[in-house]
Amino acid sequence: MAMTERVGVLIMYFALVYHVGAAQKVMPVAGPDIFKNKNTALDKLLPGEKINNVISFGAKPDGKFDCTQAFMDAWQATCHSKVQARFLVPEGTFLVSSMFFAGPCSTPEPVTIQVVGTIVATTDLSEYENNEWLLFEDMDGIKLIGGGTFDGVGKKSWKTASNCKEKPHVACVRNPSSIYFHRIKNGIIQNIKSTNPKGFHIFVTNCANIRLRRLKLTAPDESPNTDGIHISHSIGVKVARNTIETGDDCISMIHGSHQVSINDVNCGPGHGISIGSLGKYEEELEVKEIRVKNVSMVGTQNGLRIKTWPDLYPGHASDISFSDITMQNVKNPIVIDQEYQCSSQCKASLVKIKDVVFSNIKGTTTTPIAVDLRCSNKFPCESIKLENIDLSLKTKPSGSRCANIKPIYKGLQNPPGCL
C-alpha cells in the first residue's frame, strides 16, 4: 500500500474508532488480581506444560527470514491449547512484521510468552495497518518474560514521525508502538528489553491488573515520541524496578488512568514522568489515585509534570502524589502546565486539578524556575501541597512561578514558595 493511501486509511480508521469510543468511555472492571501475593519473579514450567518453539513452526533465527507466519502459527497452537502451553522465542534473531497475539486463550493457567532471543521489526511502515507492531489483546492472564529484546528498528521512521502530542485533533497518525496491551486483564511484562521503537516502547490501554517490572527501555534522547510506558483507560497498573532511557516521557499517563503505582524507576534521558496531556478529547475519564515514588531522574527535559490543553474539553485529575524523588540536572523539575502548547493569549483550560502532593524532592536543575505551577483561571488548582523541596541551580538560587493556585507549603522550600 502506498504511504499516502496508508495515511488516508489510518486517519479514517482512527477517526471512526474515536467516534465510536467517544460514546463508550467506560473503565475496565479490574476483577480479582490473580497474581496478588505470588512470586511473579519466579518462572518455572508447570506440570505437563507444552513448549511451542517458533523454530518448530518454520521460523529462522537469522534476522533476515520473515518469521511472521511462523509466529502466528505458534501462537495459535499455544493460545488454543487445552493443556498448559508456552510460546518460546529461543536464542537468535527473528524478523517479524506487525501481528496480533489475540485471545481469549484456552490454557488452564495464564499463558506464557518467553522471549530469550531478539525479535526485530520490519521497516516498511505500509505493513503496519493496525498501527502497532506486536498487539496483545483480549486475554485474562498473560506473562511476557524471558530476558530477550524487542528491537523496533525505529531510526528511519523517526524522520517522518508526526508529533501527535502537540496536535489537538484526532486525525494524527502516530508511529507504531512496539508492545501494545489492549483489553488485557492480569498481565505481566517482566525482564525484557526494548530498544529503538518506532513509537512508544509499551502502550497499555483498556487494561486491568497489569505489572511492568524489571524492564530496560532504551532509545536515543533525540528519538521523537518514544515514550517508555504509556498508560490510558486502565486500572491497577504497577510499574517497578525499571530503567528507562528514551526520547520522550519515561512514563506517561493520560485520561482514564486509575490506581497506577510507580516505584523504583531510573529515568533519563527523556522527558520525565507526565500526567497528560488532558482535556484533548471529549468525555475524558478522570485520572486519579496515582502514586509515584523512589524515582531517580538524570538529565531529563522535565521532572514531574501535569499538563492540560487550554480551552478544549473538560477533565479531572486528583489524588496524585510524587514522593522521594531525586533529580540531577533536570530542566523543569516540578510542573503543572494548564497552558500546554499555548504561546500567547491562552484561554482557560477546562480541566480541574486537585489533591496533588509533591514531597521529599531534591536535586539540581538547569533552569531558574524549578517549581512552575500555572493553573486554569477558570478552574484554579485546589489542595496542591509541596513538602520538603530542595532543588538547586548550581551555586545560584532557583525560583518558583505560580498562577491561579494557592499552594500549601510544609518543611523546607528551596526554591522559596510563591508569595
Annotated catalytic residue 248: yes
Centre a 10 Å sphere on the Cβ of residue 163 and count the other Cβ atoms it contains.
Answer: 11
How would DSSP label each residue in 82-148? SS-EEEEE-SSEEEE-SEEEE-----SS-EEEEE-SEEEE---GGG-TTSEEEEEEEEEEEEEESS-
Q: What angle do CA 73, 77, 79 make, to 5 degrees?
A: 110
Residue 401 has which C-alpha cell?
Answer: 512561578
Is 255 known to be catalytic?
no
For residues 237 and 231, is the Cβ–Cβ distance under 8 A? yes
Catalytic residue among 230, 233, 258, 271: 271
Residues forming a β-bridge with 384: 356
Q: What is the spatial distance between Cα 28 and Cα 256, in angstroms, rounded to a whole number? A: 10
Residue 166 is given by DSSP the state G
Q: Counting beta carbons within 10 angstroms of the beta carbon of residue 158, is it exposed (0 to 12), middle (13 to 18) or buried (19 or more)?
A: buried
The identity of residue 143, as a single letter, is: K
Bridge-based pairing state of the strands 273-278 and 93-96:
unpaired
* Catalytic choice (140, 151, 227, 248): 248
Query: Annotated catalytic sites, by residue?
Result: 248, 271
